[in-house]
Structure 1
């Protein structure tokens, strides 16, 4: 070691009276590197100050030649040998566009272009009229863009000559980006329903997949592995968002909290290929979990409120599923709009609950936020107040237990057509008066025409059509 480059020479290489052979070195060091190194070691020197400001690398050879010349002129020694120049990428003179209008606009001045060129000429810059550019010599390492040139104009013109002016700009009203607005709506809905927000780790353990009963060939087991993990428990990037919320629910349960309702907005990281050749896909998931109060239908109601708020009222269906291994096979469903899956909802599988030391029934839902954002729609159309009276009918039906009310509602909407204003399920009954394996469901429906008062026969015809279609599903009117 002979010193700290660009800051201080070493004592073991200093020149003394006993020295008879000298090796000259001239170097130009990176200014940023020298500034940081000088600050880190607490040593401020003349050399460090010069390099920090930026020197011309092309001066290194001229400097060493001048030093050798002075040695001979003073009779202090004889220059022998040659020189080794390590300079693979020489710094070239830069060309910057000459843009007087932009410089005046930036400074708030009205300096003539000819005066600007006079200033630049005094700095050693030359103007090329054919290309309208300025040739910047290599010793001006600080001139790299229009703003740097404008600074030189201001310096020569005189800071005190620049007129005082108020900042100019277009006044705009700030607002959230669209996706953040949807996130805010979701937070409002969840917190109004008693859910508290949480933050969970994106780093997880590979053991999570076994706790969630995922098959060995599950796509979710294909993960991004951390190169320098804190330990096995933080060695992969999560591909499923449930573990964090379930762990937090378990913490609440073990702290004797009888009721817990939590939600989390967080990314999952889905590699496009392994080993990685590009960054993984990051998808924002809204994960909701609860225990102690409420059931599947309470959580479903929260999701319905959320989808209603983002303009999807009546457009989201809940299709029964059994593909999610971490959910109860008979108590899970997908949220869909057409062929697009928005998310899923269900009761956590009892074995998964045991793996997390949770007792009782636990319900979760996961919403894919990019899909929800894409489907959301706030183009609301308002209609005038109805001028003609509506006609209300109640319909009580006897249905097999296996038939979902959603199937009945599809028939009601299809047969009701434009005259169906609204419908509502108001009763579900199972008991002694109903045959075994059957249930009674009752709906109230309102029909209305915009341009006339409906005739009784029109409504009777629609009801008959509904009953005919329901009969194809084995559904009968209750006597």
Structure 2
């Protein structure tokens, strides 16, 4: 580990024995046990004088280089044009190491001053980092503060998060030399660190807290490990205080809009996450592929972390999100023709989600549907129990002409026909 010559071990021992005998401190009885299972292999490096000169900014000849090397007992094989490195030089591994020896003998003060050369390239961040930066900026613009927690966790985390015994998240990598049981496995879910941070803030009486974290989870492909695990970057958002489910949903949508994915996501209610409230949780999908989940923390999990009130979290899987993101933007000129608006006030069962309505608007509205906006949701005495009133404003516009009322009415009829299949009726 000190870079000494392992081949010199026997000679050093012989010298020690010689001194012991000469000083009368003992008697050498002869024989030795040599435990040397992996002898050091002789290093041979190509002699690349041109590359050395290019690196140093010098013009040293091959003959001079070989003369320098001879002084420090470096051999040379002319047949292969290779430098033979003796075992006592454990620091020579590449061309740059040889060039350093040349510089020492040539003299640093003799090396001329030259301008660096090479091809100039425009530096930029990798696409993955750019996407993460956008997510980070959006989170901070919405009042979130960045945090960092350990990737080492305790197996007790799975019980705190109500994960069943057969949950795949329990298949965690055990650390061979842990600091203790509380740091004995690599995390497979990112929520424990976030909930611990939120609980700490709550214990310190911080009323409104918003935190985010970028961190890896470690998913083993097989246990015991036969290959490196799948290290997946997760962005975890957590908040409590003056907020609700839709506050956090708006932050996630803001991120997707900033990544060129506005209007492409769908929110599907789910009960697959035992640590989330079964009636206030959703998976976020784009093109049928899950990119995130969002929801309120289950009351039992809240008790396990000694928290009161409501806590909302979102976990975004960055390896799934990044390939879908885009920074390409298409701009259109200011509309030359007027728009036509139609307001639809509808009555439907409470278990019908507005996302289902908006999907119908997009599918049946065609190219003439410019936008739609939800402006009212009502439940009360004037609405039958178990039902709700939902009102949308639809905007239609053609790029090349002024729309006629009959065109818009035809599109609205198609939308209403499709809505009726869901049991949605126009409110009288």
In the other structure, the counterpart of 1:282 is 231
**More displaced 10-residue stretch of structure 1: 458-467 or 347-356:** 347-356
Between structure 1 and structure 2, the one with the greater Rg is 1
Task: Look up the SS of the partner of 2:347 in the other structure.
Answer: strand
Instruction: Work out whether 1:413 is the aligned partner of 2:362.
Output: yes
Q: Is the 8 A contact 2:74 2:84 kept in 1?
A: yes
Q: Is the 8 A contact 2:158 2:170 kept in 1?
A: yes
Q: Is the 8 A contact 2:238 2:313 kept in 1?
A: yes
The alpha-carbon deviation at position 135 of structure 1 amounts to 4.4
Work out the CA distance in 2 between the residues paired with 1:402 and 1:255: 39
Work out the CA distance in 2 between the residues paired with 1:55 and 1:250: 55
Q: Is the 8 A contact 1:290 1:362 kept in 2?
A: yes
In the other structure, the counterpart of 1:133 is 82
In the other structure, the counterpart of 2:140 is 191
Q: Deviations over 1:343-370 (max 9, x none)?
A: 1111111222222222222222111122
The answer for unaligned runs of 5 or more in structure 2 is 23-27
In the other structure, the counterpart of 2:414 is 465
Q: Is the 8 A contact 1:55 1:141 kept in 2?
A: no
The alpha-carbon deviation at position 390 of structure 1 amounts to 1.9
Work out the CA distance in 2 between the residues paired with 1:234 and 1:392: 59
Instruction: Work out whether 1:150 is the aligned partner of 2:150.
Output: no
In the other structure, the counterpart of 1:98 is 47
Across the aligned residues of Structure 1 and Structure 2, the Cα RMSD in angstroms comes to 3.1
In the other structure, the counterpart of 2:320 is 371
Q: How does 1:231-270 map to 2 (within 5 A)?
A: 231-270=180-219
**More displaced 10-residue stretch of structure 1: 361-370 or 124-133:** 124-133
Q: Is the 8 A contact 1:58 1:91 kept in 2?
A: no
Work out the CA distance in 1 between the residues paired with 2:63 and 2:339: 82
Q: Is the 8 A contact 1:94 1:137 kept in 2?
A: yes
Instruction: Work out whether 1:331 is the aligned partner of 2:275.
Output: no
Match of 1:436 among 385, 391, 402: 385
Does the C-alpha gap of structure 1 residues 138 and 184 become closer, same or farther in structure 2, counting only changes over 3 Å? closer
In the other structure, the counterpart of 2:250 is 301
Work out the CA distance in 1 between the residues paired with 2:236 and 2:71: 66
Work out the CA distance in 2 between the residues paired with 1:436 and 1:140: 87
Tell me the TM-score normalized by structure 2.
Answer: 0.87
Work out the CA distance in 2 between the residues paired with 1:204 and 1:92: 42
How many residues are aligned here? 420
Does the C-alpha gap of structure 1 residues 94 and 390 become closer, same or farther in structure 2, counting only changes over 3 Å? same
Greater relative contact order (Cα < 8 A, sep 6+): 2
Q: Deviations over 1:90-121 (max 9, x none)?
A: 66765332222112112212233344445556
Instruction: Work out whether 1:451 is the aligned partner of 2:400.
Output: yes
Task: Look up the SS of the partner of 2:377 in the other structure.
Answer: strand
Work out the CA distance in 2 between the residues paired with 1:285 and 1:138: 47
Task: Look up the SS of the partner of 1:150 in the other structure.
Answer: helix
The alpha-carbon deviation at position 125 of structure 1 amounts to 5.5
Match of 2:310 among 345, 361, 369: 361
Match of 2:267 among 315, 318, 326: 318
Q: Is the 8 A contact 1:270 1:281 kept in 2?
A: yes
Q: Deviations over 1:136-193 (max 9, x none)?
A: 5666666543234334444554444432223335555544333232222222222222
Work out the CA distance in 2 between the residues paired with 1:136 and 1:303: 59
Does the C-alpha gap of structure 1 residues 115 and 370 become closer, same or farther in structure 2, counting only changes over 3 Å? same
Does the C-alpha gap of structure 1 residues 102 and 434 become closer, same or farther in structure 2, counting only changes over 3 Å? same
Q: Deviations over 1:221-272 (max 9, x none)?
A: 2222233433333332222221222222222223333322222222222222
Tell me the TM-score normalized by structure 1.
Answer: 0.78
Does the C-alpha gap of structure 1 residues 374 and 143 become closer, same or farther in structure 2, counting only changes over 3 Å? closer
Instruction: Work out whether 1:384 is the aligned partner of 2:314.
Output: no
In the other structure, the counterpart of 1:395 is 344
In the other structure, the counterpart of 1:20 is none
Q: Is the 8 A contact 1:56 1:140 kept in 2?
A: no
The alpha-carbon deviation at position 207 of structure 1 amounts to 2.3
The alpha-carbon deviation at position 333 of structure 1 amounts to 0.5
Q: Deviations over 1:298-331 (max 9, x none)?
A: 1111111111111210111000111111111111
Work out the CA distance in 2 between the residues paired with 1:104 and 1:287: 51
Work out the CA distance in 2 between the residues paired with 1:355 and 1:105: 64
Match of 1:342 among 272, 278, 291: 291
In the other structure, the counterpart of 1:17 is none
Work out the CA distance in 2 between the residues paired with 1:420 and 1:284: 38
Work out the CA distance in 2 between the residues paired with 1:407 and 1:96: 68
Does the C-alpha gap of structure 1 residues 259 and 142 become closer, same or farther in structure 2, counting only changes over 3 Å? closer
Task: Look up the SS of the partner of 1:301 in the other structure.
Answer: helix
In the other structure, the counterpart of 1:13 is none
**More displaced 10-residue stretch of structure 1: 330-339 or 429-438:** 429-438
In the other structure, the counterpart of 2:160 is 211
